[in-house]
A and B are shown apart, each in its own frame.
Chain A
Amino acid sequence: MNSKRCGSQSVIFPTNPKILSTATIVGDVEGQGPIGKHFDLVLEDDTWGEDSWEKAERKMFEHSVRLACNKCNIAPESLDCMLGGDILNQLISANFAARAIKAPFLGLYGACSTMVEAMLIGAMLIDGEYASTVSATACSHFSTAERQYRSPLELGGQRPPTAQRTVTGAGTAILVSDEYQHNNESTHELFNNIVISAGTIGKVIDLGVKDANNLGAAMAPAAADTIQVHLNDFNKTVDDFDLIVTGDLGSLGSELLNELCKEKNIDLKDKHIDCGNTIFSKDQNVDCGGSGCGCCAVTFCGYLIKRLEAGDINNILFVATGVLLSPDTTLQGDTIPSIAHAVVIERRVS
């Protein structure tokens, strides 16, 4: 029993669930960013021809799943399980997209950590032989997030310099078991041998940050905790990874993460990158960088996985962080709890 558990919070996946394909759909600001050319579809119009932003967001979710399935020649409705979520109330984007796709579906809410949460659970389902094909998706939209968490778009106010911009984007990764791929020769693999080999389930951490305009600072302690636990559980060091990727800490959160890790005697050196800093450039007027659960989803599915495939890097520790707040808890003066989950994604040389 428990042979797949490792240390206090980690799991290993001995059968190495594969990432067969990915798909990304982003908004125009993300498309103009430094990694814009890596995305499959850049939307010119942020409503994508729909009559509301919410409808556009669920369409992005749905189409990213369809596109990723299409690329590897798996019918979307034949997926054993669709996993994913977004950051809107009642997970409307994920739920309504699942209504259209009609595959078995588990909705997940991990705020901006949703992508890694979905990949972690997806790998568990496959490794535990409960599923052989799983999609993991996360999706967010600048305009829907602004109205739910902040203020109307046309309101003429100033953002504090610690604020981050929610990424408009949906990213999907299709995970399959080795056996499935073996038995279904019609599947097409977009990536040669990229697997999820291990993961760490995060704990909710709260170091007392109250400012909902400073989410990077709220999330950095959760990321530091999960990184420390992961390294301890596997008895590894930072040197064992080519990159340590965090979700959306932004520039301030990244600095704080570095400091917190130093206190724990972990030197991240130059191995740390943050998706919130990668997806936008400084001159795009985004203050501390990108955020939202689409941020790390599209950065990984569009950009990082291509670097893994190209052999430029061989393995990454992918740590996505999320703030578990609502606008009401902020108004009631609560501090901001946050969480970070991690998966190890590596390229196996066969």
Chain B
Amino acid sequence: MKKGNQSPEQQAYLEKVKQYEPKSNTFSQCVKAFIVGGLICCLGQLIWDIGNNMFTFTESQNSGFTSIVLIFLGALFTGIGIYDKLGSFAGAGSIVPITGFSNAIVSTAMEHKREGYVLGVSAKMFLIAGPVLVYGISASVVLGIVYFLFGIA
């Protein structure tokens, strides 16, 4: 049913639903997302500094190192059942960082383990992260072409 086809009765009801619906508290959720997201980024900075000072990685080595450690931590906390609780508290604060991406892949893989390793885990693993990959990679290809044609300067 398209929006234009709504009967007056339906329109009146949808208005009523809107009026009674409990609202999300956007402000407090933004604050929580800011704090938790910020803490995850601080953790990333800490890992970066460790890589820099203790292992004396080059800059490109160190960005790989930092990402890998964060992805590992996201997967670990998903596996022991903490990340979903963090997510329901922090919302975008824990979904947007790279740990959230790790959570999307690991949680789906865990969920589908019972359907087998081929058609379960590996086929379903990208159910939620898939769109991020498809459009992320597509966007990078487009940007790459633009960069190739026009350069940055």
Binding site for B on A (CB under 8 A): 51-52, 147, 151-162, 206-209, 214, 217, 221, 252, 255-256, 259-260, 287-288, 334-335
**Closest CB of chain B to A212's CB: distance in Å?**
14
**Which of B85, B90, B91, B111 is packed against the most chain A CB atoms within 10 Å?**
B111
Provide the residues of chain B in CB contact with A221, threshold 8 Å: 13
Name 25 interchain pairs, CB-CB below 8 A, sorted by A.
Answer: A147-B111, A152-B110, A152-B128, A153-B107, A154-B79, A154-B81, A154-B84, A155-B84, A155-B103, A156-B83, A156-B87, A156-B103, A156-B107, A157-B87, A157-B95, A161-B21, A161-B22, A208-B1, A208-B10, A217-B17, A217-B20, A252-B20, A255-B20, A259-B16, A287-B22
* Alpha-carbon separation in the docked complex, A271 to B19 (Å): 24
Q: B24 contacts the other chain (Cβ, under 8 Å)?
A: yes
Nearest 4 A/B pairs, CB to CB: A156-B87, A208-B10, A154-B107, A152-B111
Decide: A208 and B14 in contact? CB cutoff 8 A: yes
* Alpha-carbon separation in the docked complex, A162 to B90 (Å): 18
Q: Which residue of A lies closest to B99 (CB)?
A: A156
**Closest CB of chain B to A250's CB: distance in Å?**
10
Provide the residues of chain A in CB contact with B1, threshold 8 Å: 206, 208, 334-335
Size bracket, chain B contacts: 35 or more
Chain A contact surface mostly:
loop
Q: Which residue of B lies closest to A251 (CB)?
A: B22
Q: A51-B114, A207-B10 are in contact. Are A154 and B22 (CB under 8 A)?
A: no
Decide: A162 and B21 in contact? CB cutoff 8 A: yes
Decide: B83 and A154 in contact? CB cutoff 8 A: yes
**Closest CB of chain B to A197's CB: distance in Å?**
32
* Alpha-carbon separation in the docked complex, A155 to B104 (Å): 6
Provide the residues of chain B in CB contact with A255, threshold 8 Å: 20
Of the candidates A151, A209, A214, A335, which one forms a contact with B128 in the assembled complex, judged by CB atoms under 8 Å apart? A151
